Amino acid sequence: MAKSQVTFNKIEKEKKRLKKREDKLKKKEARKAESKENPQGIQFAYVDYNGNLTDTPPDPSMRVKVEAESIELGIPKKEDRGEEELKANEGKVSFFDTSKGFGFIIDNINNEKYFVHVSGLLEPIVENDTVTYELERGQKGMNAVRVKKI
């Protein structure tokens, strides 16, 4: 004799599927009934001066006029940097691996550690050298570039 192919688990799954279908039909009918009761709903939604949605239009007398000439499109021009920003920073090489081509410099003023790559060197450096450098934003933070010995 062969066993029945219908298991308890299959029966339960079928019951859940049918219940889900019934619930979906009930929700659909409830939405239809609700739309018949309130056919218009809110036709327009307005935003007041505080950023809240309302069904009444805003007062036109409170409108702020913006001149087209005052709107700037594009990236603003960089202003000339002062002499302090152009001045190179000083620091000490805490680690530099010539075979891998990178290292770290510790700033003399704020003791921050900055990454330096061999492509940013003006001359070869080794550990414990005192160097001058400029900072440039990299992918993971600030990088030391244009590095040279003092």
Q: What does the pLDDT look like over 88-136, one tens digit per residue?
A: 799 999 999 999 999 999 999 999 999 999 999 999 999 999 999 999 9
> Residue 127: inside a domain, yes or no?
yes
pTM > 0.75: no
Span 59-68, pLDDT tens digits: 888 878 889 9
Range in 3-7, 35-39, 67-71, 75-79 with the lowest mean pLDDT: 75-79
Its domain, for residue 109, covers: 85-149
> Residue 143: inside a domain, yes or no?
yes
140: tokens are 């993971």
Number of structural domains, the chain? 1
> Residue 70: inside a domain, yes or no?
no
Span 12-47, pLDDT tens digits: 999 999 999 999 999 999 988 887 776 666 577 888
> Residue 145: inside a domain, yes or no?
yes
| Domain of residue 89, CATH code | 2.40.50.140
Q: With DSSP H G I counted as helix, E B as strand and the rest as coil, what are the percentages for the chain, rounded to 5? A: 30, 25, 45
> Residue 22: inside a domain, yes or no?
no
> Residue 91: inside a domain, yes or no?
yes
